[in-house]
Amino acid sequence: MFYIIYLEHDTFLSKKKKNLKQIHASRVKFLQKEGRLIIYGYMPAVDSNDPGMSGFTGLTIIAEFYSLDDVQLWVEEDPYINDCNKLIIKPFKIIF
């Protein structure tokens, strides 16, 4: 089943956790390598593909996991995602 992982954080947190992004990125790339990643992206703090100093306020992942427990465990083991202001995990059914 597919799941949406949606998280929000303030831009300061994003800059503070820069060193954790490499670990996080390798975990997401592993999902991609396994063919389980549908979409991954950051949310700019301003209406621009390059937010500059404004930074990013969160990210969204849509990926395939075996169960809700499996995706929750994956999130708990990710040091970048684990410390965010708001985290939502929802099942997702692809129609198109």
- Is 15 a member of any domain? yes
| Rounded-to-integer distance, Cα 35 and Cα 31, Å | 6
pLDDT per residue as tens digits for the range 71-80: 999 999 998 8
Q: Can you give the pLDDT at residue 73?
A: 96
Model pLDDT, residue 79 = 83
Contact between 1 and 65 (Cβ < 8 Å): yes
Q: Residue 94: how many CB atoms within 10 A of its CB?
A: 8
Q: State pLDDT tens for residues 5-58.
A: 999 987 655 555 667 788 889 999 999 999 999 999 999 989 999 988 888 888
Is 77 contained in some domain?
Answer: yes
Look at residue 81 in the predicted model and tell me its pLDDT. 85
Give the pTM.
0.88
Q: Which domain holds residue 52?
A: 2-91
Q: Please report the pLDDT score of residue 2 as a whole number.
A: 98
CATH number of the domain enclosing 77: 3.30.70.1060
Q: Is residue 96 part of a domain?
A: no
- 52 found inside a domain: yes
In a domain, 40, yes or no: yes
Greater confidence (89 vs 56) lies with 89
**How many domains is the chain partitioned into structurally?**
1
What 3-state class would DSSP assign to 1? coil
